[in-house]
Structure 1
Amino acid sequence: MKVITDLLKGFINRSGFYIFSTTILSRILSFIASWIALQLLDHSELGVILLAFNIISFIIPIGGLGLHQSLIRYGAQLIDDKEKNDLFVYVLKRGIVVSIVLIVVLIIVSYFINFSFPNTQYYLVILSFSIIPFFLFEIVKIQFRLRFENRMYALLELSYNILFVAGVLVLTTVFKEDGYVLAIIVVPLITSLLFIKKLNINFKNNNKLSFTNLIFWKYGFFASLSNVVTQLLFVIDILLIGYLLNDPKMVTNYKYITLIPFSLLFLPNVFITTDFVEFTQRINDKKYIKRYIKGYLYFFVMISVIIISIFSILSKWLLLIFDEKLVQFNNIFLVLTLGVTGILIFRGLFGNLLSSIGKAHINYYIASIALILNILSNFYLIPHYGILGAAITSSVLMWLTGLFSLLFFYKFYYLEN
């Protein structure tokens, strides 16, 4: 169909293939870095570091109070590069100050938490300083996207992952656990500093744009909160399985069963990363947005049908890659795959379109309600159906959140605009 051809042509013209390739390579490099750490560090101590970093990972999205989210949404609506640069400087300066406050609060709170494992607080305190490097890294990436320099964005992402592998190898070899923690903090900072000079921004500017008001800050805050709650949706199943079944083997089984279906979520992310600035800049062009939606839906319905067809045939073989004992759970694998297609088709697109029209808080409300429903449903389904119950809950909610994103976008964009 022509709408699919136009979608893919626009994707390629905006250097989408570079982002796609970089995403694949980055996942491979991330795996290599994890493997190196596993070989060089004591597994128990590494587990404590990963636990501490998982906690920080939920806080990183709200680094700078989500100002990076405001940067990409409001920056995409600016035409003049000077205004985009002024907005970048505003976000950078305020974001770092807010991040410092966040780090101080996190460190203070950590002293009142009774951690189960030794050294957890030590690593948590040190890793809290990664909030600023990751905030800087994120806004530099966003600025390249705002300039439609997706190749530079891809190069930045790839450079980070290459440097991270090198950093983990060298620093972990020399300083062991502290070296691994240091690599997590230092690599995004070094990468950002190497690329930020390519933006040619005058950091002495203190020009405040008219829209950098409470609404601007509120948008970023809710957009970042939405990301945090969405992350929780992907880990709550694991936590509830462990709590309700009290069987570590079932936790492990479910974790590995979800690996392949959840890995498919990079597909809509690649398209949105490539196209978000474009369709946000043209959000008032309803003819363009309608055509983009049509092409996106047709393409991902087709992709979803292909995925379900292939996985229906090969599910047992795919699970056999991890462990022959997982083959018995192929029905759960297929249920999760079906659920993921709901995100591929609806949530990935309409959640971001809601952000484009300034309704990031709606995404937060949808994700929060889904999280509550997930907990309530799993408290019934997991005891009765085991990990199949968790898979059913997640799959249904993946579709429901996507459909509600569609309905709210239609309401705000077509009925109320």
Structure 2
Amino acid sequence: MKSLLIFISDFFKNKGHHVFFSLLIAKICGFIGSLFIIRLLPESEFGTISIVASVFFIFLAFNGLGSNQSLLRYGSINQSLTDKRALSTYLFRRGLFYQIFISSLFLLTSFFYVSKYEDILIIFLLFTVRLVGYYFLNHIQAELRISGNNKGFAIVSNVVNIVGVIALLILSYFFGIYGYLIAVAFTPFLALLWYKKENLNSLPPKFIFTKKELWNFGLNAAGTALLSDALFSADVLMLSFLLNETAVASYKVGLLIPLNITFLAASFMQSDYPKLAKYSKDKIFLKNYLFNYYKLFIPIAILIFITGLFFKVEILDLFFSAKYAESQMIFIIFLGAFCANMLLRNLYGNLLSAVGMMKMNTIISVLTLILLVIFSFIFVSKYGVTGMAVSLSLSMFFGGIMLAFSFYLYWKDLK
């Protein structure tokens, strides 16, 4: 019990609660913005924006070719503040070069849609600006985290999200779709208020690792992020192919709340990531971290599942409506799956990243996606929407087991 109290105390000393609330605020702002736009914009305009946004999130995973992820890990390993700044400057400049190329590719994809959708080029153009803005935002957030400034990370996130949703509401109300586009395009650039001018000075980077290792890690981090997002798109695509849009609606309702409970674990891992990277070779530290993590999150996961099991009807009625009563079984399956996710996939995926085994993360993400396709063809034909819930849950569970086993092999070989 004493070790658990120290574990929680360290979380607060590390300003982890600021990260927790910043993630919560980001989710609330995203929900408010989406709800407002759905109600305000005509269906055709919202549909066009949704198409562009889907392409945007694919390219967003490769922002700076993973330079911010590399900065987060290798900057955490570096002990010297001077070396951290030199690495940040190097990655910022090289990543910006890659980002311009990635953003240009994103803009070029608009020509596949120009003939079919009116005014889609201007939407792509402003989302390209947003893509560049996210590069600056992600880099600055990573820079704050490697210096242990979780409070600063949270402030940047809160300013961008809160000002962003306010600007979106006001500009969309008065200027419709163009107001929305201007708001989402330019608010990420608010993060530049926290960019230190001295970081623009030329500093010779001192590497305790090879540049190849640095960029391989970043590229694998980008690939893993993309594959993780693909996992939660492939299930809907498979369901729409095997069943119909009504089944998709019922499925999404059952998925929505369980999907978001993992931010509890995510806030801990976000807060502790620099420390985990710093002590990635310390066998005893990693062992103690795992034990204390489980002491905290096993009871949380059990409490969430039992609450959902006994109050599933009330929860679904409160957030949705009585017409989605058939989603109860899907809701419970996913609630159990994402509780397990906090204890397996979320935990060990972040641990593998922190210790530098991002390539293994990418490989297991591919295998998880393949498992989803296989399970879908087995279970959906027999059990319909419930079968898809089982398919995704099993895929995530086996993916989590593979991640845990990979981390165990790494930990076992440490001296």
TM-score (norm 1): 0.94
Deviation of 1:120 (Å): 4.2
Provide the residue aligned with 2:246 in structure 1. 249
Residue identity in the other structure for 2:74? Y
Residue identity in the other structure for 1:87? L
Between the aligned partners of 1:170 and 1:329, the Cα distance in structure 2 is 36
Between the aligned partners of 1:181 and 1:160, the Cα distance in structure 2 is 15
Deviation of 1:251 (Å): 1.1
Provide the residue aligned with 1:266 in structure 2. 263
Q: 1:203 aligns with which of 200, 204, 208?
A: 200
Deviation of 1:35 (Å): 3.0
Asked whether the 8 Å contact 1:342–1:399 carries over to 2, the reply is: yes
Deviation of 1:212 (Å): 5.1
Between the aligned partners of 1:23 and 1:412, the Cα distance in structure 2 is 30
Deviation of 1:118 (Å): 4.1
Provide the residue aligned with 1:194 in structure 2. 193
Asked whether the 8 Å contact 1:72–1:277 carries over to 2, the reply is: yes
Provide the residue aligned with 1:292 in structure 2. 289
Deviation of 1:123 (Å): 2.2
Provide the residue aligned with 2:391 in structure 1. 393
Deviation of 1:232 (Å): 0.8
Q: How does 1:71-220 map to 2 (within 5 A)?
A: 71-112=71-112, 117-120=117-120, 122-189=122-189, 191-197=190-196, 201-210=198-207, 211=209, 213-220=211-218
Between the aligned partners of 1:228 and 1:133, the Cα distance in structure 2 is 19
Between the aligned partners of 2:70 and 2:157, the Cα distance in structure 1 is 21
Provide the residue aligned with 2:223 in structure 1. 225
Residue identity in the other structure for 1:196? Y
Provide the residue aligned with 2:368 in structure 1. 370
Q: Give 3-state SS (helix, strand or coil) of 1:76's partner.
A: helix
- 1:41–1:114 CA distance, 2 compared to 1 (3 A): closer
Asked whether the 8 Å contact 2:276–2:355 carries over to 1, the reply is: no
Provide the residue aligned with 1:409 in structure 2. 407
Q: Give 3-state SS (helix, strand or coil) of 1:253's partner.
A: helix
Between the aligned partners of 2:239 and 2:250, the Cα distance in structure 1 is 10
Which runs of 5 or more structure 1 residues have no equivalent in the other structure? none
Could you report, residue by residue, the CA deviation over 1:193-247 in whole angstroms, capped at 9, with x for unpaired residues? 11214xx6331214233235111101100011101100111121111111111x2
- 1:333–1:202 CA distance, 2 compared to 1 (3 A): closer
TM-score (norm 2): 0.95
Provide the residue aligned with 2:24 in structure 1. 24
- 1:350–1:49 CA distance, 2 compared to 1 (3 A): same
- 1:376–1:117 CA distance, 2 compared to 1 (3 A): farther
Aligned sequence identity (%): 26
Between the aligned partners of 1:72 and 1:160, the Cα distance in structure 2 is 20
Provide the residue aligned with 1:240 in structure 2. 238
Deviation of 1:169 (Å): 2.3
Could you report, residue by residue, the CA deviation over 1:341-384 in whole angstroms, capped at 9, with x for unpaired residues? 22100111211111122110100000111111111221232222
Asked whether the 8 Å contact 1:346–1:402 carries over to 2, the reply is: yes
Between the aligned partners of 2:121 and 2:252, the Cα distance in structure 1 is 26
Residue identity in the other structure for 1:390? M
Between the aligned partners of 2:210 and 2:191, the Cα distance in structure 1 is 24
Asked whether the 8 Å contact 1:88–1:143 carries over to 2, the reply is: yes
Between the aligned partners of 2:106 and 2:376, the Cα distance in structure 1 is 31
Q: Give 3-state SS (helix, strand or coil) of 1:386's partner.
A: helix
Q: Give 3-state SS (helix, strand or coil) of 1:201's partner.
A: helix
Provide the residue aligned with 2:50 in structure 1. 50
Could you report, residue by residue, the CA deviation over 1:231-266 in whole angstroms, capped at 9, with x for unpaired residues? 111121111111111x21211111111111001010
Residue identity in the other structure for 1:391? A
Asked whether the 8 Å contact 2:89–2:203 carries over to 1, the reply is: yes
Q: 2:326 aligns with which of 325, 328, 331?
A: 328
Deviation of 1:308 (Å): 1.2
Between the aligned partners of 2:291 and 2:116, the Cα distance in structure 1 is 50
Between the aligned partners of 2:153 and 2:128, the Cα distance in structure 1 is 25
* 2:314 is aligned with 1:317: yes
Residue identity in the other structure for 2:247? M
Q: How many residues align?
A: 413
Could you report, residue by residue, the CA deviation over 1:102-141 in whole angstroms, capped at 9, with x for unpaired residues? 1222333442468865444542343133221101101101
Deviates more, 1:22-31 or 1:351-360: 22-31
